[in-house]
Structure 1
Amino acid sequence: MQGLSLESLKKHKALIPLYVCVGTGCAGAVFYLGGLATRNPNVSWNKKSSPEPWEEYRVKQYKFYSPIRDYSKEEYPAPKN
């Protein structure tokens, strides 16, 4: 198939931006999913050391940035099951 080897890509230079954009999009998706899998409190990879990982957030606050309201002075405990 033309455009898949380096020699044919030199002949079809218009395909280079396409490969760059697709490669950047794939890399961004991988980094985003990796961040979700490692830093999200809803994901637990090791159930033996922490069988109930949500208990760590009983005293912490997990929030997004809010320019309107200051959440640092309020306390929102984790729900009890």
Structure 2
Amino acid sequence: MQGLSLQSLKKHKALIPLYVCTALGCGGAVFYLARLALRSPDVSWNKKTNPEPWEEYRNKQYKFYSPNIDPAKEGSPAPKF
């Protein structure tokens, strides 16, 4: 198929931005999924050492920006089990 080898890619230079955009999109998707799997309090990889990982976020602001809720003043919006 044309455009898949380096020799044919030199002839069809218009395909280079397509490959760059596709690679950036795939890289962004992999980064986002890795961030969700590693940084989210909803995911627990080791349940023996930390059986309730959401408790770490009880007094922290989980949202990036929250103009109406201040956990330091009002307490945590997290439910108490």
- Give the TM-score, by structure 2 length: 0.83
Q: Which moved more, 1:25-34 or 1:56-65?
A: 56-65
The gaps in structure 1 that reach 5 residues or longer are none
Note the C-alpha offset of 1:79: 1.0
- Alpha-carbon distance, 1:77 to partner: 4.5
Compare relative contact order (CA 8 Å, sep 6+) and give the higher one, 1 or 2: 1
Greater alpha carbon shift after TM alignment, 51-60 vs 30-39: 51-60
Determine the C-alpha separation between the residues in 2 that align with 1:70 and 1:48.
32
Deviations 1:45-72 (A, max 9, x none): 1111111212222333322313x43524
Q: How many residues align?
A: 80
- The farther-off stretch of 31-40 and 48-57 is 48-57
Q: Percent identity?
A: 74
CA distance in 2, matches of 1:70, 1:80: 17
CA RMSD of aligned residues (A): 1.7
Listed as ranges, the matches of 1:1-81 within 5 Å are: 1-66=1-66, 68-69=67-68, 71=70, 72-81=72-81
Once residues 79 and 34 of structure 2 are traced to their aligned partners in structure 1, the CA distance between those partners, rounded to angstroms, is 27
Amino acid at match of 1:25: G
After TM superposition, the structure 1 stretch with the greater mean CA deviation from structure 2, 45-54 or 20-29, is: 45-54
After TM superposition, which residue ranges in structure 1, 4 or more long, deviate above 4 angstroms?
A: none
